[in-house]
Amino acid sequence: MKLPSLKGKDKLETAERISIASIIFGALIFSLGIGLTIVTPRGIPAILSMLGAAISFVFTVLLIFIWFIKSWKGD
């Protein structure tokens, strides 16, 4: 599946856009997991919360690394 809206003018900009979209996706999964803990604090809601937090964290670190590379290259 190709998403043309995430395509940038170069590889770094594309990676930056994908990273931002993944952070938003991770935050949505995290929010869903937190919301589902109203029903039960164990099982799937806890796993969704942890997964969403992990996705957001990993892609935030990746985004910072991409920004570092972009500033180092002088874009």
Per-residue model confidence as pLDDT tens digits over 48-66: 999 999 999 999 999 999 9
In a domain, 10, yes or no: no
pLDDT band at 4 (very low <50, low <70, confident <90, very high): low
In a domain, 9, yes or no: no
- Into how many domains does the chain fold? 1
pLDDT band at 2 (very low <50, low <70, confident <90, very high): low
Burial of 19 (C-beta count, 10 Å sphere; 0-12/13-18/19+): buried
pLDDT band at 69 (very low <50, low <70, confident <90, very high): very high
Query: Is 90 exceeded by the pLDDT of residue 5?
Result: no
What pLDDT, on the 0 to 100 scale, is given for residue 65? Answer: 96
In a domain, 31, yes or no: yes
Q: Residue 59 is part of which domain span?
A: 17-73
